Amino acid sequence: MFTTIPVIDMIATGQNITHLRQCAGLSVHDLQDIFGFTTPQAIYKWQHGTSMPTIDNLVVLAAVFGVHVDDIIVVHAGDEKRGVA
């Protein structure tokens, strides 16, 4: 039995975060203030797809953007993996 394992597209998710931020009329520094980060580096990494927000930060982003967490993350079908029967 084979199962397709979904994979998060980090680049597309980062682009989605950027788009949602801009649609909300927020700057990177606005998000920095909302999260209480001392620097904006984490947000830039999210937007460039080099890292992902933690689950709790995704929940905050969803609330700030007025969307569901599923609307932020971009998922694609991954490779098929052999399942254990």
What are the boundaries of each domain within the chain?
2-82
Could you identify the residue written with the tokens 């009329």?
25
Q: What is the mean pLDDT of residues 5-29?
A: 96
Amino acid identity, position 13: T
Query: What pLDDT is attached to residue 39?
Result: 97
Higher per-residue confidence, 35 vs 82: 35
SS3 readout for the chain:
CEEEEEEECHHHHHHHHHHHHHHCCCCHHHHHHHHCCCCCHHHHHHHHCCCCCCHHHHHHHHHHHCCCHHHCCCEEEEEEEECCC
Joined tokens for residue 46 = 């999210």
Q: Does domain 2-82 have CATH number 1.10.260.40?
A: yes
Residue 10: is its pLDDT beyond 80? yes
